[in-house]
Amino acid sequence: MSTDYSKWATTEEIKTRFDRDVERFSNLDTGQLTTIDAPLTMELCTEAAKYISPQAKELLDIGCGAGNYTLKMLSKISNLNCTLNDLSLPMLEKARERVSAQTNGNVSIIQADMRSLELPDNHFDIILASAVFHHLREDADWEHVFGKMYAALKPGGSIWISDLITHDSPAVAKLFQDKYGAYLETLGGPEYREKVFDYIAYEDTPRSVNYQLGLLQKIGFKNLEILHKNSCFAAFGGVK
């Protein structure tokens, strides 16, 4: 049975919220505070990418925000050519400013919905996707975007995803929602917990790690790896 997504936020509404929220996404030390273990997953994703492609030249950062993941990648492999994508132009401008200061490579920005991206085939050594795919809705959108990522990677290149996830068991999903709620309360009390839960319920449609790994495998990715999972967040990826 298909899900009716008409009550979820539109792409334009999501864009508008992120346009106003640039500074919250600009702290390389903490990452996004609402993401559990954000610094650790950023470190693991970029380190895995470096180990897979130590001579990488081309990087694509999907939903780059203010550029934290690309900056972390540049601290491990310098002078990458960086292609930055986001819905929000203020985010992209901040990311370009920060990234350009750290690489002598080319830095290009693409303001676009990830579903409509036009990317060259077999071009990128590394794709990073942090807190972005959970905005995808229908199964067809997930498969379409994952397929784009596969086509854009060079053979032997890798994609690393760090994102909000759900769980296949309703009981386990409730367990980790409760644990995440307790974590959010440590950041700002019950009101902050409810604020975050409200915008997740309105904007986000995450899928489980099992779903996403299965889709990556279906599309053709190999050497699939789960780097980290804690509560409602996970970091994972694979190699083309």
- Span 213-227, pLDDT tens digits: 999 999 999 999 999
The answer to whether position 173 is within a domain reads yes
Domain around 99: 11-121+131-136+147-239
Token representation of residue 3: 């899900």
* Of 106, 128, 139, residue with least CA distance to 208: 139
Provide the mean pLDDT of the chain.
Answer: 93
pLDDT value of position 208: 98
pLDDT value of position 15: 72
Q: What are phi and psi of 143, to 5 degrees?
A: -65, -40
For 53, counting Cβ atoms within 10 Å of its Cβ (0-12 exposed, 13-18 middle, 19+ buried), the class is: buried
The answer to whether position 2 is within a domain reads no
The answer to whether position 126 is within a domain reads no
pLDDT value of position 13: 76
The answer to whether position 3 is within a domain reads no
pLDDT value of position 121: 98
Structural domain count, the chain: 1
The answer to whether position 169 is within a domain reads yes
Residue with tokens 């994508």: 85
Is residue 138 within 8 Å of 106, Cβ to Cβ? no
Spatial separation of the C-alpha atoms in residues 41 and 50, rounded to whole Å: 14
pLDDT per position as a tens digit, 134-172? 999 999 999 999 999 999 999 999 999 999 999 999 999
Q: What's the average model confidence in pLDDT over 172-190?
A: 94
Here the CATH number for the domain that contains residue 117 is 3.40.50.150
The answer to whether position 75 is within a domain reads yes
The answer to whether position 85 is within a domain reads yes
pTM of the model: 0.94
Structure confidence at residue 26 as a pLDDT band (50, 70, 90): low
Token representation of residue 105: 């490579």
* Of 139, 134, 140, residue with least CA distance to 201: 134
The answer to whether position 4 is within a domain reads no
